[in-house]
Amino acid sequence: MLRFYNTLTRNKEELRPIHEGKVGLYSCGPTVYWFAHIGNMRSFLFADILRRTLELNGLEVKMVMNITDVGHLTGDADEGEDKMLVGMRREGKTAFEIAEFYTAAFMRDLERLNIKQANLYPKATAHIPEQIAMVEALEKNGFTYRTSDGIYFDTSRLSTYGALCGQKAAEKLAGARVEMGEKRHATDFALWKFSPTDVQREMEWDSPWGKGFPGWHIECSAMSTKYLDAPFDIHTGGIDHIAVHHENELAQTKGALGVLEANIWMHNEFLTVNDGKMSKSLGNLYTIEELVEKGYDPLAFRFLALGAHYRSKLNFSFEALEGAQNALRKLRDIVRSWEAPAVGCAQFESRFLEAINDDLNTPQALAILWEMVDSEYSTGAKARTLLWMDHVLGLRLDECVGKPIEVPDEVARLVKEREEARRQKDWTLSDELRARVEALGFIIEDANGHSNIRKL
């Protein structure tokens, strides 16, 4: 039985797929105006673990992840600039070039973290007619009004508004300090924004209401229901999306199509740095590329993320990353000498499945993995079970299990020379040779008078 925590009902619920044996999964994707940071990547890792867990249980998953390439303003309350225009100004490129460049960077990060490809990555700019059609449906159903700068959703017209974030709309309204403009209620939000009349906007489209561009939330309602049909099974994103983006997405789909968009809404907690928010201005915002430049294995970041439950905060530090990298290396070293996979260890497999099926308890799943590694089972049995577990963990352990390191001749020669230098107590030469070995991608560990060689 698969159970997940549903933000909408505030309960752990059993997954009951709408179509037997199949699951429709929609994950909010990146805004491609800049590199995704490691906090964003935590969100995509969480969605990947979810998808792999569903697949391990024999379910056929259709996964859709949007690419936001227009409409996401710098503030959630419909204020600020379109993030894509910010990117264009910063780099002096067209919107298309910005989107193409950062989408490619995003795909590279997914590959480095061994995140499986979604079935579809629809782009907001390629679905303008669908978004317009949805706003028209909302208009027809009486959920919209017009101001001088756009078409807005009237949240007071939907009795269920506020269901996801658990606050009554009225309370939010009383407590919120948002720029009201001509909005009727603080929680109302833009569906379509008009282009400024004095300057030509670089990204704008014709619509029944005049030239303009879509609000940020409408793309997810339009694209998720186009590719998955509503209701679908699971919708994911980070917790920052609950109160505005997902609440509004849910409202739009309900208002336009009269259905609950998705049955289960799952949200990952934040990755923090020094227990605080990551931000460019604090200089603590890292990308996967930066971790790689500092010599870390991207899969060490995946391993670090697996060590925390997705609904707990995870504080990032380089010490923690170092620890994760060492643990992963240790695991790889152990399994290199294992025999070919044989019949697996059933009791560890069932315990692993129980942990992961219980709202993706990855820390417990990892603890079970280590217990299995240390157990008395034959290495062939352990190899089989480990590779099975890795369908969910995604640590590319198949590249190591039963595959001793092949040490190139040059490395072997340098190691021999170093052993000789140590016998002569020539520590300077010994250190120099160690550095040359490391430059070739290997580490020497001195153990009881001989040298162990590991891959960096």
Judged by the rule CB under 5 A, the positions of this chain that interact with Zn ion are 28, 220
User: Given phi > 0 = left and psi -120 to 50 = alpha, else beta, which region is 56?
Assistant: alpha
Q: CA 408, CA 357: separation in Å to the nearest integer? A: 43
Which one among 162, 238, 344, 394 touches ligand AMP, defined by CB under 6 A?
Answer: 238
Nearest-approach distance from CB 392 to ligand AMP, in angstroms: 20
Nearest-approach distance from CB 366 to ligand AMP, in angstroms: 20
Nearest-approach distance from CB 38 to ligand AMP, in angstroms: 8
- Calculate the CA dihedral of residues 427, 432, 434, 440 and round it to 10 degrees: -170
Backbone angles phi, psi at 96, to 5 degrees: -60, -45
Residue type, 423: R
Nearest-approach distance from CB 456 to Zn ion, in angstroms: 39
Q: Is 414 exposed, middle or buried (0-12, 13-18, 19+ CB in 10 A)?
A: buried
Nearest-approach distance from CB 452 to ligand AMP, in angstroms: 37
Residue 220 near which of ligand AMP, Zn ion, none (CB within 5-8 Å, type-dependent): Zn ion
Nearest-approach distance from CB 309 to ligand AMP, in angstroms: 13
Label the pairing between strands 271-273 and 314-316.
Answer: parallel
- Give the bridge partners for 123, in sequence order: 67
Beta carbon nearer to Zn ion, 28 or 355:
28
Do you know the residue count of the chain? 456
Decide: is 39 part of the binding site for ligand AMP (CB under 6 A). Answer: yes
Residue 30 near which of Zn ion, ligand AMP, none (CB within 5-8 Å, type-dependent): ligand AMP
Which one among 13, 55, 240, 349 touches ligand AMP, defined by CB under 6 A?
Answer: 240
Q: CA 367, CA 21: separation in Å to the nearest integer? A: 29
Which one among 106, 143, 161, 270 touches ligand AMP, defined by CB under 6 A?
Answer: 270
Decide: is 271 part of the binding site for ligand AMP (CB under 6 A). Answer: yes
Which one among 31, 248, 253, 263 touches ligand AMP, defined by CB under 6 A?
Answer: 31
Other Cβ atoms less than 10 A from the Cβ of 415: the count is 20
Nearest-approach distance from CB 42 to ligand AMP, in angstroms: 4
Decide: is 278 part of the binding site for ligand AMP (CB under 6 A). Answer: yes
3-state SS assignment for residue 261? coil
Nearest-approach distance from CB 124 to ligand AMP, in angstroms: 12
User: Given phi > 0 = left and psi -120 to 50 = alpha, else beta, which region is 199?
Assistant: beta
Which one among 17, 237, 255, 341 touches ligand AMP, defined by CB under 6 A?
Answer: 237
> Given the rule CB under 6 A, which of 23-31, 112-120, 179-187, 433-441 is the region that contacts ligand AMP?
23-31
> Given the rule CB under 6 A, which of 13-21, 100-108, 265-273, 430-438 is the region that contacts ligand AMP?
265-273
Nearest-approach distance from CB 216 to ligand AMP, in angstroms: 9
Nearest-approach distance from CB 278 to ligand AMP, in angstroms: 5
CA angle 56, 62, 68 (to 5 degrees): 125
Closest CA to 76 of 193, 187, 196: 187
Beta carbon nearer to ligand AMP, 195 or 315:
315
Residue nearest to ligand AMP (CB): 238
Q: CA 125, CA 202: separation in Å to the nearest integer? A: 13
> Given the rule CB under 6 A, which of 119-127, 238-246, 331-339, 425-433 is the region that contacts ligand AMP?
238-246
Q: CA 323, CA 334: separation in Å to the nearest integer? A: 17
Instruction: Count interface residues toward ligand AMP (CB under 6 A).
Output: 15
For residue 25 the two structure tokens come to 């999964």
Closest CA to 116 of 400, 397, 360, 393: 393
Other Cβ atoms less than 10 A from the Cβ of 243: the count is 18
Beta carbon nearer to ligand AMP, 51 or 384:
51
> Given the rule CB under 6 A, which of 4-12, 181-189, 234-242, 333-341 is the region that contacts ligand AMP?
234-242
Residue type, 14: E
Beta carbon nearer to ligand AMP, 31 or 224:
31
Beta carbon nearer to ligand AMP, 305 or 392:
305
Nearest-approach distance from CB 274 to Zn ion, in angstroms: 28
Decide: is 241 part of the binding site for ligand AMP (CB under 6 A). Answer: yes
Per-position b or e across 368-377, b if 16+ CB within 10 A of its CB: bbeebbeeeb
Beta carbon nearer to ligand AMP, 212 or 237:
237
- Contacts of residue 206, defined as CB under 8 A and 6 or more positions apart, other chains included, come to none
Alpha helices (H) along 294-408: 298-306, 318-336, 346-357, 362-374, 379-393
Q: Is 275 exposed, middle or buried (0-12, 13-18, 19+ CB in 10 A)?
A: exposed
Decide: is 28 part of the binding site for ligand AMP (CB under 6 A). Answer: yes
Q: Which residues bind ligand AMP (CB under 6 A)?
A: 28, 30-31, 39-40, 42-43, 237-238, 240-241, 268, 270-271, 278
